């Protein structure tokens, strides 16, 4: 995995920490990769360490031409004893100071500067065996999260830990923390990823079976980890593994009503089926998980109440915060259902409870598209007043205005035109001119 730390658009460091594979009594090495991000000026850098007696850096300083790269070699001088704390060392740190260089190639009087801070992590087979011999289960667990491939090196008498169980192929440290339910450790690891892109890559990492950390946490019933990943770090709640199972499906299969309810509240789609065509409701029914069945059926109840325009029933269900985001096999939400039936009050109620006005079914129809198809001028006007995009396009490129004209709804077409809708040819012309 590539991670990056940007220094005010001057310098990029590919590594997020200095990783040292420790062996006693020998030189241990690590490499840092730097790249200048400035398009026209040279970038000067200087490396400092909190432990100069232990570390040697080559080169300790230098100047990078625009867009040039360099490798820094970090050498840990031979140490007779293991580090007192590992994998993370609280006392060993590196600081890379970067600044714009003058035309002479020196770094005097920098006009723009920033620092990159890197911590040191000690890893490797020696430390894993050392931690096992000490009976330090926490250190064993943390080392295996960084290097799960070292698991076979553990002796039989190693301390039992969640991470020391059979580690599935392709698991990352985040997978392991999610499986163990250690949400604080999960948060710590993700907070170390300072770049948003790097965090996204970590939370969506997949093992050999295509499982993300959210799926693993949901399958183990670790609700707090599920919430941490989805609500704080934006993990995809509807991701599917190779067999098509989502986090919601796994929780439903286990009869885990708390996790099912939480995922539904967070907007998980209960209509997503596995590769064999089975939904979370199907598996819950088959296994007799009645509480889960009732939770999932509320989604169908919300859809039914929306189609019927049953405001009293609909509001009662919405206040329970379960089933609000449910979809049918065509990707239709309750808002779609109310819109096509012309139930303007139900549409307004659903929007008040936070339903997305731009949600799309499998063909790309928004609720506004379906309100037009239903031919109800008042519902179309209600959606527009609430901020629906009058120029939204389906997968085939149809806008609400195109649909209204093709179906002969002149009053609706006139309303859309007066509220900012333009013909598809105008949209295409505008798009073409903006890219030229």
Looking at every residue in the chain, the average pLDDT score rounds to 85
Class of domain 1-123: mainly beta
Q: What is the pLDDT of residue 105?
A: 42
Report angle CA 146, 151, 157 to the nearest 5 degrees: 125
- Positions of CATH 1.25.40.20 in the chain: 330-435
Instruction: Give the C-alpha separation, 174 to 279, whole Å.
Output: 27
- Checking if the pLDDT of 434 tops 50, the result is no
pLDDT digits (tens, 9 = 90+) for 67-77: 999 999 999 99
Instruction: Give the C-alpha separation, 393 to 358, whole Å.
Output: 10
Instruction: Give the C-alpha separation, 123 to 384, whole Å.
Output: 58
Task: Look at residues 104, 100, 145, 153 and name the one whose alpha carbon lies nearest to residue 126.
Answer: 153
Question: Is 84 exposed, middle or buried (CB count within 10 Å of its CB: 0-12, 13-18, 19+)?
Answer: exposed
Q: How many CB atoms lie within 10 A of CB 95?
A: 13
Which of 15-29, 104-118, 139-153, 166-180 has the weakest average pLDDT?
Answer: 104-118
- Positions of CATH 2.60.40.10 in the chain: 1-123
Task: Look at residues 346, 344, 353 and name the one whose alpha carbon lies nearest to residue 318.
Answer: 353
Task: Look at residues 348, 337, 432, 423 and name the one whose alpha carbon lies nearest to residue 386.
Answer: 348
Question: Hey, what CATH topology would domain 330-435 get?
Answer: 1.25.40
Residue 283: enclosing H or E segment and its boundaries? helix 280-286
Q: Are strands 17-21 and 5-7 parallel, antiparallel or unpaired?
A: unpaired
What sign results for the dihedral spanned by CA atoms 148, 152, 158, 162?
Answer: positive
- Checking if the pLDDT of 122 tops 50, the result is yes
Task: Look at residues 18, 10, 198 and name the one whose alpha carbon lies nearest to residue 97.
Answer: 10
Q: What is the pLDDT of residue 430?
A: 41
What sign results for the dihedral spanned by CA atoms 275, 281, 286, 287?
Answer: positive
Which of 104-118, 231-245, 339-353 has the weakest average pLDDT?
Answer: 104-118
Q: Are strands 17-21 and 113-123 parallel, antiparallel or unpaired?
A: parallel
Q: What is the pLDDT of residue 319?
A: 84
Which ranges in 309-423 belong to alpha helices (H)? 311-319, 334-340, 344-352, 367-374, 377-385, 400-406, 410-418
pLDDT band with cut points at 50, 70 and 90 for residue 363: very high
Task: Look at residues 192, 159, 175 and name the one whose alpha carbon lies nearest to residue 17.
Answer: 192
Q: What is the pLDDT of residue 2?
A: 36
pLDDT digits (tens, 9 = 90+) for 151-198: 777 766 555 444 444 567 777 778 878 888 888 878 877 876 655 556
Q: What is the pLDDT of residue 350?
A: 93
Considering only residues 250 and 137, tell me which one the structure prediction assigns the higher pLDDT.
Answer: 250
State the greatest distance between any 2 C-alpha atoms of the chain, in Å, as a whole number: 86
Instruction: Determine contact, residues 405/372, Cβ cutoff 8 Å.
Output: no
Across 265-274, 311-320, 369-378, the highest mean pLDDT is recorded for 369-378
pLDDT digits (tens, 9 = 90+) for 186-218: 887 787 665 555 677 778 889 889 999 999 999
pLDDT digits (tens, 9 = 90+) for 253-286: 999 999 998 998 887 888 888 999 999 999 999 9
Q: What is the pLDDT of residue 423?
A: 78
Task: Look at residues 231, 229, 295, 225 and name the one whose alpha carbon lies nearest to residue 258.
Answer: 295
Task: Look at residues 9, 29, 27, 10 and name the one whose alpha carbon lies nearest to residue 19.
Answer: 29
Q: Give the position of tokens 């239903």.
A: 374
Report angle CA 182, 186, 187 to the nearest 5 degrees: 120
């Amino acid at each position: 995995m590539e991670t990056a730390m940007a220094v005010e658009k001057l310098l990029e460091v590919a590594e997020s920490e200095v990783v040292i594979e420790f062996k006693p009594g020998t030189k241990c090495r690590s490499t840092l990769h730097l790249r200048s991000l400035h398009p026209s000026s040279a970038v000067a850098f200087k490396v400092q360490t909190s432990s100069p007696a232990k570390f040697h850096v080559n080169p300790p300083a230098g100047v990078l031409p625009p867009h040039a790269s360099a490798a820094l070699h970090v050498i840990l001088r031979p140490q007779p004893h293991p580090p007192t704390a590992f994998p993370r060392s609280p006392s060993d740190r590196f600081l890379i100071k970067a600044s714009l260089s003058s035309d002479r190639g020196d770094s005097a009087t920098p006009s723009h500067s920033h620092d990159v801070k890197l911590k040191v992590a000690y890893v490797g087979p020696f430390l894993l065996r050392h931690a096992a011999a000490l009976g330090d289960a926490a250190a064993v667990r943390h080392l295996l999260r960084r290097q799960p491939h070292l698991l076979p090196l553990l002796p039989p008498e190693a301390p039992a830990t969640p991470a020391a169980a059979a580690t599935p192929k392709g698991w990352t440290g985040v997978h392991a923390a999610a499986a163990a339910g250690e949400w604080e450790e999960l948060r710590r690891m993700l907070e170390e990823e300072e770049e948003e892109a790097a965090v996204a890559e970590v939370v969506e990492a997949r093992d050999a079976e295509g499982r993300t950390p959210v799926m693993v946490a949901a399958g183990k019933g670790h609700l707090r980890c599920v919430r941490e990943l989805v609500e704080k770090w934006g993990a995809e709640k509807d991701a599917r593994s190779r067999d098509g199972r989502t986090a919601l499906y796994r929780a439903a299969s286990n009869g885990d009503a708390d996790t099912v309810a939480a995922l539904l509240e967070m907007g998980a789609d209960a209509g997503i089926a596995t590769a064999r065509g089975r939904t979370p409701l199907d598996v819950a029914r088959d296994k007799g998980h009645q509480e889960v069945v009732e939770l999932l059926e509320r989604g169908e109840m919300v859809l039914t109440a929306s189609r019927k325009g049953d405001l009293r029933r609909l509001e009662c269900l919405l206040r329970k915060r379960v089933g609000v985001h449910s979809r049918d096999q065509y990707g239709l939400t309750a808002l779609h259902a109310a819109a096509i039936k012309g139930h303007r009050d139900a549409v307004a109620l659903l929007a008040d409870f936070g339903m997305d006005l731009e949600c799309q079914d499998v063909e790309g129809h928004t609720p506004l598209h379906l309100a037009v198809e239903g031919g109800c001028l008042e519902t179309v006007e209600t959606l527009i007043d609430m901020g629906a995009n009058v120029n939204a396009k389906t997968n085939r490129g149809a806008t609400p205005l195109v649909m209204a004209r093709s179906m002969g709804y002149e009053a609706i077409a006139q309303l859309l035109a007066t509220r900012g809708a333009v013909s598809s040819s105008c949209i295409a012309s505008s798009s073409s001119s903006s890219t030229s």
